[in-house]
Amino acid sequence: MHGALPDCDFSVFRVLAVDEVIIVTCKIPDKQRATDPLPTHLLKDNAVVLAKTSVENSAGRRHAS
């Protein structure tokens, strides 16, 4: 397993917008492996629902802490 580079700092993250998640998800190449937990076409076909859920869940975690 590889460790983070010494000058990397993952302690600060910015909030992503639903639209940003959808755009990045739709740019994923249309290829997959048998070991992928979800086929790429299903991920892309459901990008809106998955992005909204992910962003809302992460927002809830930020407010709970």
Q: Where are the domains of the chain?
A: 18-64
What contacts 30, CB < 8 A, 6 or more positions away? 40, 41, 44
pTM for this model (two decimals): 0.65
Output the pLDDT for position 5: 72
How many Å is the maximal CA-CA distance in the chain?
38
Contact 20, 47 (CB under 8 A): no
Going residue by residue through the chain (65 aa), what tens digit of pLDDT does each one get?
Answer: 566 677 777 677 788 899 999 999 999 999 989 999 999 999 999 999 999 998 888 876 655 55
What contacts 65, CB < 8 A, 6 or more positions away? none
